[in-house]
Structure 1
Amino acid sequence: MTVDRRRASAALTGLLLGLLGLLAGPASPARAHAALVASDPGANTIVPDAPNRVTLTFSESVQLIAGKIQVLAPDGSRADQGEPQAAGGTVTIPLRSGGARGTYLVSYRVVSADSHPVAGTLTYSVGATSTPPSESDAAQAVDPVVRALIPVGKYLGYAGLVLLVGPVLVLALLWPHRLSRTGPARLVWTGVGLVLAGTVLGLWLQAPYTTGSGLFDVSGGDLQAVLGSTFGAVMLVRLGVIAAAAFLLRPLLRGDGGESKADLALLGVLGVAALATWPLTGHPTASPVAGVSVVVDAIHLAAMAVWLGGLVMLTGFLLRHANEGELGAILPIWSRWAATAVAALITAGVVQALIEVASFENLFETTYGQLILAKVGLAAVVIAMAAFSRKLVRSRSAETGPRTLRRVVLAELAVTAIVLGVTAALVQIPPPRTAEAAETGATSSTITQTVSDSRVSLQVDVFPATVGNNSLHLYAYTPDNKPLPVVEWTATAALPSKGIEPIEVPLLRITDFHAIGDIALPMAGEWTFKFTVRTSEIDQSTLTVKAKIS
């Protein structure tokens, strides 16, 4: 083996190993990209009567997993009945009638729009709190082996695209007729195999990933559920498209002139269809502008595959085997391709970042935004290298031109491998818009506090906990948590830190021990609520609650 060939082989091997490390390293653990933003009954609240259903509201649409949603009664028995229903981001769980007093546990595990599982628990109480029923934390976890293999599957797909898309374009449009296609053909078939392997592995892993089971604890029903989901349908389309493309690739890879323009055109259509399957199983499907995000992400991925795959062909074969005349014709064309791919990468990346980051501050204050900035910096380095390459192409008459160009291209491959690693990490990290949705949901949730004296225990619910129109729910209990009839309710709200004097809150009696009121809180801050509860002609209690309104 010649020195140049050894260097090229080492560079390609290093690129793939580097990608594997970068894809597997930063991406663990895979995290859910939807958030529970509200529930009814609210988390940690006490309701006077047992509800007939529990409603969970998520930041994006979700799909149900059979047997992974339940409500446990205070005695540990199942309180839910029938099958839960999902409509967009809302999940409704029907409950049995006549629920007992005490604390209930709601546990859920669903699949978010971007194919990641969302799991968690919450409690609510009927009449009074009690020791909540327990559920193993393992039921909400992802098996560590499954979690570690997920980025490996993504790596196989990305590496396969690089070895498939760029080389096929070079063979179809730039490859000299006199050169053998044996080496590039092996590269392309390797790419096909990697995409197929990554897809099959992704389908298998999705079953234990969504159910929380082990790698080999997958039943036929679990696989059937995955294949029947949106994720499974998209992955099956990818398998079909790649298999069809493999038949059309054979004449091109043989180089016997058997491929027709119609075959090449159909191959291009199949390539576009295959590229679209990646964004359809990731962040773009859950974007506020899903159609735009899917198209932009597909363009981003295609530009990456063309650019990086073309660089592999350039440094692995053309710069070593093509003669001066052939390189003189090929390199200027490739230089324009590379410039176009870089422009597409930048434009698509900026658009997608604007959608996912949501605000300028998130670029610096979130892990997702910081990785975007790192990616931009690395892209700037690669663009500088590409500009130098174009300069060498224009002046390649010098004896050292091809050798220097090979070194620059190898450096481009190395830095681009890091860029791809950052991209893979971004796939596994919730975007800021999801985090903001979760934070907004948490901020807007009910504030529940209980205050008491020797005569009365008063539960106060304030919702939402934000400036605007707010509701108060008051529940009166005896010190031993029995409903306490109230003769008269009065309430005021004040914000001393901003000079707002007590404002009277009109209250409406709903039951003997339950009253509600409405008030428009005009400013954020720690509000002071005072409640007077008169339980007889001579007995009354005045209780104070402080609640932070944002």
Structure 2
Amino acid sequence: MSLLLRIAAFAVLLCLLGGAAQAHAILQTATPADGASLDAPPTRVVLTFSEPVTPLAFRLLRPDGEIVRLPDPRADGATIEAPLALEGVTGTAILNWRVASADGHPVGGSITFTIGAGTEPAQDLAWSTYRAPSWAARFLLMVGLFASVGAILFRYWVFAAERRGDMRLAAGAAGLGALSLAAFVYAQAVDVSGLGASGLRASDVWNALLVNGFGLGAGLAGCALILALVCATGGVSGAAGRWLSAAAAAAVVAAFVAYGHARAAEPAWLMQPAIALHVAAVLLWLGSFAPLLNALRSSPGEGATALARFSAPIFVTSAVLLLTGFVMAWAQLGAVSELWSSAYGVVLLAKLALVAPMFALGAVNRFALARGVAAGRPAAIRRLRRTIAAELLLGVLTLGVVGLWRFTPPPRSMEAVTVTVNGLQFHAHGVRAMANLELSPARVGRSKATVNVLNVDATPLAAREVTVVLLDPLGRLEPIRRPARRLTDASWVVDEVSIPSPGRWTVRVDILISDFEQATVRTSVNVVR
């Protein structure tokens, strides 16, 4: 219990030190302007922001569907200028930009402009080639982290018996984690580049990884693996081993706090400590299974002692897991219906389907087998080994399921859930407002969006501003934001929005009700060529 509190306190301190909120840069002007129709191809793009910025990634989606990176964008305070190679080109192009604000946070957006006659900028943005390797690398990294750091925690804090098997396990898991960390960084860089492996030579790709939480999280994970390897191979003992293993555990906790969906959820003062406590509890629980199995195989006496020490804090650990898991699920989902209506919720259900039998097996171990093991009964020891092995397998499968959250953004940022989808007509019902949306046509190319905004009692809502946001289903383009033009008090229209690729796009409607109140609703549309 003391270790859990130390790790959690360390992670909470990190949260408090890094929790200050700062403003982000806002694009004020662009040349060419968003939605501009040009007679001749522009030779450069000039963006002016509300504060000094650093360019990260500028990509141009040409009318023929090719994505090219703009070389060497130059920053001069709040203005960025980059050359455009569009000689002899006609059609619709989309510029994707991503910059770092003065506070280091990345922001991005897109600008659409047409040269001569408009075209349908259809292209293949498929990146499934990188999804499976990215998931596998993240999964193996989590296995390596929890197995290596869990083994040394068990060795120095739970059962201080010198067993070579535990240290070989920790060393091997640390090596697996190091290789997986390198592969995960590579996969993330490929994703950020937007140009496949050929884009990794660009320095802005690596800058983009460093300015957000990914770089910090990867560095902390690397530190944890190094500390675990030192403890496993360096003959560390006594107080030094306890401090090094605790530092490794704290680094794992801080890595999860630094990077992931949950770190951005509100309220941060609740969510970030919840993440810290949840990961610390998983380390102590899941990370102890393999060393506990080794102890049970070693001798009945060692197995009984190790089980007793492992079981002492198990009620507190289980309570922390359940409570923090509930808090994070509540904050991420926003509505119970998202459990079955969102990809994030389906992954959560799959995780719960694996965790529930783990708790059931743990109850069997604690209340049905522990006394027999303490008495040295061979049958009870054999049954306990089988149930712990089953728990370990379920735990590893759970880590694999959790890795799928890399590709399923949580619905927390949307205050609404989709109710119906009928052809080109959509209805989105939110907590504060509703919207009837028509996207015509729902295919690649130029479309028109008409929005009727309503109060939840279906009466017209007199909004101040309405913005339609298209979110790329492949996650490769920055959100396409288009301000709507008022037709009546409750009716708004976006005359033209270019959809660059097929797929199931998320359509979000941001409704500014007053200076102090905004509602957000969403739906999704299957865009075809």
* TM-score, structure 2 as length reference: 0.61
In 2: Cα distance, 1:79 partner to 1:173 partner: 53
In 2: Cα distance, 1:338 partner to 1:55 partner: 56
- 1:181 deviation in Å? 2.1
| Residue from 202, 209, 219 that aligns with 2:191 | 209
After superposition, residues 242-391 of structure 1 pair within 5 angstroms as 242-251=225-234, 254=235, 259-315=237-293, 317-324=294-301, 326-391=302-367
The question of 1:163 aligning with 2:147 is answered yes
Partner of 2:174: 192
Partner of 1:132: 118
1:182/1:94 Cα in 2 relative to 1: closer, same or farther (>3 Å)?
Answer: closer
In 2: Cα distance, 1:259 partner to 1:340 partner: 27
1:362/1:407 Cα in 2 relative to 1: closer, same or farther (>3 Å)?
Answer: same
In 1: Cα distance, 2:223 partner to 2:362 partner: 36
In 1: Cα distance, 2:95 partner to 2:487 partner: 32
Identity %: 24
Query: Deviations 1:399-426 (Å, cap 9, x if unpaired)?
Result: 4110111111122223223322222222
1:355/1:280 Cα in 2 relative to 1: closer, same or farther (>3 Å)?
Answer: same
Is the 1:106–1:122 Cα contact (8 Å) retained in structure 2?
Answer: yes
- 1:356 deviation in Å? 0.8
Is the 1:109–1:119 Cα contact (8 Å) retained in structure 2?
Answer: yes
Is the 1:70–1:80 Cα contact (8 Å) retained in structure 2?
Answer: no
The question of 1:68 aligning with 2:59 is answered yes
1:63/1:308 Cα in 2 relative to 1: closer, same or farther (>3 Å)?
Answer: farther
- 1:354 deviation in Å? 0.8
Partner of 1:183: 165
Partner of 2:11: none
1:470/1:248 Cα in 2 relative to 1: closer, same or farther (>3 Å)?
Answer: closer
- 1:371 deviation in Å? 2.6
| Residue from 150, 155, 158 that aligns with 2:134 | 150
AA paired with 1:172? Y
In 2: Cα distance, 1:347 partner to 1:274 partner: 20
| Residue from 107, 110, 121 that aligns with 2:95 | 107
| Residue from 190, 195, 217 that aligns with 1:234 | 217
In 2: Cα distance, 1:263 partner to 1:400 partner: 35
In 1: Cα distance, 2:68 partner to 2:230 partner: 57
For structure 2, which runs of at least 5 residues remain unmatched after alignment? 1-26, 85-89, 419-427, 441-447, 455-460, 467-484, 494-510, 512-520, 522-529
In 1: Cα distance, 2:247 partner to 2:345 partner: 34
1:314/1:78 Cα in 2 relative to 1: closer, same or farther (>3 Å)?
Answer: closer
| Residue from 352, 370, 380 that aligns with 1:393 | 370
- 1:242 deviation in Å? 3.4
Further displaced range: 291-300 or 221-230: 221-230
Q: Secondary structure at the match of 2:288?
A: helix
In 1: Cα distance, 2:337 partner to 2:312 partner: 36
- 1:517 deviation in Å? 7.3
Is the 2:68–2:195 Cα contact (8 Å) retained in structure 1?
Answer: no
Please report the RMSD computed on the Cα atoms of aligned residues, expressed in angstroms: 5.2
Partner of 2:499: none
The question of 1:221 aligning with 2:203 is answered yes
AA paired with 1:131? A
Q: Secondary structure at the match of 1:67?
A: strand
Partner of 1:497: none
Is the 1:469–1:519 Cα contact (8 Å) retained in structure 2?
Answer: no
- 1:176 deviation in Å? 5.8
Is the 1:364–1:370 Cα contact (8 Å) retained in structure 2?
Answer: yes
In 2: Cα distance, 1:359 partner to 1:63 partner: 38
In 2: Cα distance, 1:272 partner to 1:464 partner: 50
In 2: Cα distance, 1:152 partner to 1:120 partner: 30
In 2: Cα distance, 1:202 partner to 1:216 partner: 17
AA paired with 2:173? G
Q: Secondary structure at the match of 2:155?
A: helix
1:160/1:434 Cα in 2 relative to 1: closer, same or farther (>3 Å)?
Answer: same
AA paired with 2:290? V
Q: Secondary structure at the match of 1:469?
A: coil
Q: Secondary structure at the match of 2:94?
A: strand
AA paired with 1:149? P
In 2: Cα distance, 1:269 partner to 1:438 partner: 42
In 2: Cα distance, 1:340 partner to 1:365 partner: 33
In 2: Cα distance, 1:364 partner to 1:386 partner: 28
AA paired with 2:117? T
Q: Secondary structure at the match of 2:321?
A: helix
1:185/1:471 Cα in 2 relative to 1: closer, same or farther (>3 Å)?
Answer: closer
In 1: Cα distance, 2:347 partner to 2:99 partner: 25
Partner of 2:502: none
- 1:312 deviation in Å? 1.3
Aligned residues: 404
In 2: Cα distance, 1:81 partner to 1:193 partner: 38
- 1:286 deviation in Å? 2.5
AA paired with 2:343? T
Query: Deviations 1:311-352 (Å, cap 9, x if unpaired)?
Result: 11122x11111233x333322221234433332222221111
Query: Deviations 1:14-71 (Å, cap 9, x if unpaired)?
Result: xxxxxxxxxxxxxxxxxxxxxxxx9999x99789999x98899xxxxx9964332579
Is the 1:80–1:94 Cα contact (8 Å) retained in structure 2?
Answer: yes
Further displaced range: 297-306 or 195-204: 297-306
1:55/1:377 Cα in 2 relative to 1: closer, same or farther (>3 Å)?
Answer: farther
- 1:154 deviation in Å? 0.4
Q: Secondary structure at the match of 1:66?
A: strand
Is the 1:363–1:372 Cα contact (8 Å) retained in structure 2?
Answer: yes
Partner of 1:10: none
1:517/1:242 Cα in 2 relative to 1: closer, same or farther (>3 Å)?
Answer: closer
AA paired with 1:243? I
